[in-house]
Chains A and B, each alone.
Chain A
Amino acid sequence: MEKAIKRFWPVFVLPTFAAFLIGFVWPFLQGLYLSFCKFTTIDKAQWNGLKNYLYALTEAEFLHSFWFTALFTVVSTICINVAAFAIALALTRSIKGTNVFRSVFFMPNLIGGIVLGYIWNILLNCALTLLGKPLLSLHAPYGFIGLVILMCWQQIGYMMIIYIAGLQSIPNDYLEAARIDGANDRQILWRIKIPNVMPSITICLFLSLTNGFKLFDQNLALTAGEPNHLTEMLALHIYNTFYARSGAVWKGYGQAEAVLFCILVIAISLVQLRATRSKEVQQ
């Protein structure tokens, strides 16, 4: 059978592979090459060695956006996962209307980042005005909090679904056995539920970590990096370096920053992969 399928590779593999070459492999390699160049268009690229990387690693704004992104990712990951897990626990208790609640919490996930950003921009600015406080784009701490609120609103529902699936897959025997043994709710939670949904937890942590690091649309629409690039996250910073600055050097810097960004995200994923693997071995 394998042989028969093998002969049909032009039918099965070629379409995807050709598109993959155009849509990923070729631009990726070209991007890698250009990160060592000074260029405005691809034809006019000049080899520039490691200068772009040296610049990127010393630029204050890039480093600021890195720390801002890191802080944002940690805070939003914690908020999202704690809240999502709590709601998932509540919704697996067979309360009336569980389905309605679940649908409502999941809904924001379907709305796109740009639209979400605008919605929350209007809402939060209104709240700030009524409180007589500076607008989102004038006070970086509010911008940060706004981003966290926005991400929570969007992502909690998604993570909640995953946690619910995890919680529901715990065999009822475990829980009943524990109750018969006289375990209280807290013990059941920490000794049985949490260890058994560990795979869900790792998945959710991973998803919210990478979502946080790669965040772009929401950042653009909610604060656009204002004030003064202080709320600019890595992806937006790279985009701005690339397109908002004219001059021959900036594209090279931007591409080098993008490569560094890429390495960072890959590193996180590898750590994650290892963590998941070791968990699987334990079980």
Chain B
Amino acid sequence: MSKKLLSLALTAAMALTLLAGCGGNTTTSGSVSGSSSGAGADGAKGEVYYLNFKPEQDEAWQALAKAYTEETGVPVTVVTAASGTYETNLMSEIAKSNPPTLFQVNGPNGLANWKDYCYDLTGTPVLGELTSEDYALKDGDATLGIAYVIESYGIITNKTLLEQAGYTVEDIQSFEDLKKVAEDITARKDELGFAAFTSAGMDGSSDWRFKTHLANLPIYFEYQDDGIGTTEAIKGTYLDNYKAIWDLYINNSTCAPTELASKTGSDAESEFINGQAVFFQNGSWEYGALTAGGMTDDQLAMIPIYIGAGDEANQGLCTGTENYWCVNKDASPENIQATLDFMYWCVTSETGTAAMANDMGFVIPFKGAQESNNLFVKQDAEMTAAGKTPVSWNFPTMPSEQWKNDLGSALTAYAAGTGDWDAVVSAFVDNWAAEYALLNG
């Protein structure tokens, strides 16, 4: 209270002395919201403030928010965090007097940090629209987050180039096939004029493709064997397979293994678009960039990442989510209600589902979902329909960012020849237990 008094007193003092200097400009010309902010003078209607994670979807969200406001009169503000700054943005925004009402976490480990801010969604209409309970993020009995987008990743293939090399996508049904094709292409690299795999991008621009997404596979198969969903100590049963696929990547890429550390994710992407490589490990989110770069659906296909483990004949793409919506518990009741209404509208209304499917290219785990025009998403659906089992995303159970970073450094060193595989194994197995203890100790 005393602080508020002080700020009022300061307000008065400043208003007297400084209005002359600056007060003429004090209209809120950039304002988009109609009612008052956090102090809630007449907030009977409520309003929504969404802190969006994905910069590439910013425009689509802004448009959707505008459409919702036109339809219902409820103001929706969408602010997008720059890449890599979501946590810092959320941290600074949530402490403000007008905090986000809707934000996102990346899974159980993200939730552990933010659960004190999450509203229990149990019994809300939007939760009832989920196609599967698996897409709800729970903490005990409470449902604190719900997935709003399902994504897939695998090996994106340039079919045209593959045919030039004398193969088709159907020829690749296992790790052995993949290895055979890749090594054959490498052997004829000069004659063909392209390589098997794109270069890596081991810096922040795309290191997650290997230290997180590729590392998901050995974890997945180990979890399958043990019938578990998370662990405090990984055994590393399938690390030899991890080594095999990593060796395949680095020895058959557009550049020598020692030079991988000097490439970025953008380089890998341009190589693929410019037809310098057949295979590019990435996900459905990459579709927009590839088509913008001039590639067509006829040229593209996504195949599963085979590492020579499990039932390869029935292996699907890696499909899952690390994008969960959470509602801010500390927002005012009107704002919470407005936010829930907005979420429900996004995933059920014609406008909302169309925007999410077409403008954002998302496949959403809700009953009212429309079919996305994203080729890779469609392929994932086809494979699942054909009886293949998608590989689930287990990397949200990785113990920490530190663990991923150490693994990334070890992989880079191994590729460059300055480190050995034992270091990777140690970063994978020993660090897991150590980091897990630190997190939960």
Verify whether A and B have any Cβ pair under 8 Å: yes
Distance A129 CA – B91 CA, assembled complex (angstroms): 36
Distance A226 CA – B203 CA, assembled complex (angstroms): 9
Q: Which of A11-37 contact B (CB under 8 A)?
A: 14-15, 18-19, 21-22
A-B contact pairs, 7 of them (CB 8 A): A10-B17, A42-B3, A125-B264, A135-B203, A135-B264, A136-B203, A138-B261
Chain B residues, CB < 8 A from A128:
262
Interface residue? B173 (CB, 8 A): no
Contact pick for A246, options B13, B18, B113, CB 8 Å: B113
Distance A128 CA – B405 CA, assembled complex (angstroms): 21
Size of the A side of the interface (Cβ < 8 Å), in residues, is 34
Q: Is the CB of B91 within 8 A of A137?
A: no
Interface residue? B276 (CB, 8 A): no
Q: Which of B76-106 contact A (CB under 8 A)?
A: 84, 87-88, 90-92, 95
Q: Is the CB of A246 within 8 A of B204?
A: no
Q: Which of B385-412 contact A (CB under 8 A)?
A: 402, 405-406, 409, 412
Contact with B along A128-164 (1 / 0, CB 8 A): 1101111111110000000000000000000000000
Chain B residues, CB < 8 A from A166:
none
Further 13 A-B residue pairs, CB within 8 A, beyond A138-B261, A224-B204, A243-B92: A14-B17, A18-B14, A133-B262, A137-B204, A138-B412, A227-B409, A228-B402, A228-B409, A240-B88, A243-B87, A244-B87, A244-B88, A246-B91
Q: Shortest distance in angstroms between B427's beta carbon and chain A's nearest beta carbon?
A: 11
Interface residue? B114 (CB, 8 A): yes
Interface residue? A247 (CB, 8 A): yes
- Residue of chain A at shortest CB distance from B405: A228
Interface residue? B21 (CB, 8 A): yes
Interface residue? A41 (CB, 8 A): yes
Interface residue? B133 (CB, 8 A): no
Size of the B side of the interface (Cβ < 8 Å), in residues, is 33
Interface residue? B357 (CB, 8 A): no
Distance A159 CA – B10 CA, assembled complex (angstroms): 41
Chain A residues, CB < 8 A from B21:
15
Q: By CB atoms of chain A within 10 A, which of B3, B90, B261, B264 has the most?
A: B261
Interface residue? A40 (CB, 8 A): yes
Which 5 A-B pairs give the minimum distances between C-beta atoms?
A: A134-B261, A246-B113, A243-B88, A129-B262, A137-B203
Interface residue? B66 (CB, 8 A): no
Contact with A along B219-262 (1 / 0, CB 8 A): 00000000000000000000000000000000000001011011
Q: Shortest distance in angstroms between B106's beta carbon and chain A's nearest beta carbon?
A: 12
Interface residue? B416 (CB, 8 A): yes
List the count of A-B residue pairs having beta carbons below 8 Å apart: 79
Contact pick for A224, options B84, B92, B416, CB 8 Å: B84
Chain A residues, CB < 8 A from B406:
228
Distance A14 CA – B20 CA, assembled complex (angstroms): 13
Q: Shortest distance in angstroms between B81's beta carbon and chain A's nearest beta carbon?
A: 11
Contact pick for A135, options B92, B113, B262, CB 8 Å: B262
Interface residue? B202 (CB, 8 A): yes
Contact pick for A226, options B10, B114, B204, B402, CB 8 Å: B204
Distance A125 CA – B264 CA, assembled complex (angstroms): 9
Q: Which of A228-283 contact B (CB under 8 A)?
A: 228, 239-240, 242-247
- Residue of chain B at shortest CB distance from A129: B262
Contact pick for B416, options A14, A125, A134, A242, CB 8 Å: A134
Q: Is the CB of A18 within 8 A of B10?
A: yes
Chain B residues, CB < 8 A from A10:
17
- Residue of chain B at shortest CB distance from A14: B17
Chain B residues, CB < 8 A from A247:
113
Contact pick for B14, options A22, A135, A227, A242, CB 8 Å: A22
Contact pick for A132, options B18, B202, B262, B264, CB 8 Å: B262
Chain A residues, CB < 8 A from B416:
134
Distance A131 CA – B263 CA, assembled complex (angstroms): 11
Distance A247 CA – B113 CA, assembled complex (angstroms): 6
- Residue of chain A at shortest CB distance from B263: A129
Q: Shortest distance in angstroms between A155's beta carbon and chain B's nearest beta carbon?
A: 27
Q: Is the CB of A135 within 8 A of B261?
A: yes
Q: Shortest distance in angstroms between B316's beta carbon and chain A's nearest beta carbon?
A: 33
Q: Which of B252-282 contact A (CB under 8 A)?
A: 256, 258-259, 261-264, 267
Chain A residues, CB < 8 A from B13:
14, 18
Distance A226 CA – B401 CA, assembled complex (angstroms): 13
Q: Known: A224-B204, A227-B409, A246-B91. Is A18-B262 also a contact (CB below 8 A)?
A: no
Q: Is the CB of A21 within 8 A of B10?
A: yes
- Residue of chain A at shortest CB distance from B13: A18
Chain B residues, CB < 8 A from A42:
3, 95
Q: Shortest distance in angstroms between B296's beta carbon and chain A's nearest beta carbon?
A: 30
Q: Shortest distance in angstroms between B23's beta carbon and chain A's nearest beta carbon?
A: 12
- Residue of chain B at shortest CB distance from A128: B262
Q: Is the CB of A246 within 8 A of B258?
A: no
Q: Shortest distance in angstroms between A279's beta carbon and chain B's nearest beta carbon?
A: 40
Q: Shortest distance in angstroms between B359's beta carbon and chain A's nearest beta carbon?
A: 29
Contact with B along A178-200 (1 / 0, CB 8 A): 00000000000000000000000
Q: Shortest distance in angstroms between A241's beta carbon and chain B's nearest beta carbon?
A: 11
Distance A133 CA – B416 CA, assembled complex (angstroms): 10
Distance A244 CA – B405 CA, assembled complex (angstroms): 15
- Residue of chain A at shortest CB distance from B261: A134
Q: Is the CB of A138 within 8 A of B263?
A: no
Chain A residues, CB < 8 A from B409:
138, 227-228
Distance A242 CA – B406 CA, assembled complex (angstroms): 22
Distance A139 CA – B416 CA, assembled complex (angstroms): 12
Q: Known: A132-B258, A138-B203, A226-B203. Is A246-B17 also a contact (CB below 8 A)?
A: no
Q: Shortest distance in angstroms between A136's beta carbon and chain B's nearest beta carbon?
A: 8
Q: Is the CB of B262 within 8 A of A22?
A: no
- Residue of chain A at shortest CB distance from B88: A243
Distance A168 CA – B170 CA, assembled complex (angstroms): 78
Distance A243 CA – B92 CA, assembled complex (angstroms): 7
Q: Is the CB of B87 within 8 A of A246?
A: yes
Q: Which of A35-52 contact B (CB under 8 A)?
A: 40-42
Distance A43 CA – B203 CA, assembled complex (angstroms): 39
Q: Shortest distance in angstroms between A253's beta carbon and chain B's nearest beta carbon?
A: 14
Q: By CB atoms of chain A within 10 A, which of B258, B262, B267, B405 has the most?
A: B262
Contact with A along B99-129 (1 / 0, CB 8 A): 0000000000000011000000000000000
Distance A37 CA – B260 CA, assembled complex (angstroms): 46
Q: Is the CB of B95 within 8 A of A40?
A: yes
Q: Is the CB of A22 within 8 A of B10?
A: yes
Distance A138 CA – B114 CA, assembled complex (angstroms): 30
Q: Shortest distance in angstroms between B153's beta carbon and chain A's nearest beta carbon?
A: 23
Chain B residues, CB < 8 A from A240:
88
Distance A15 CA – B20 CA, assembled complex (angstroms): 10
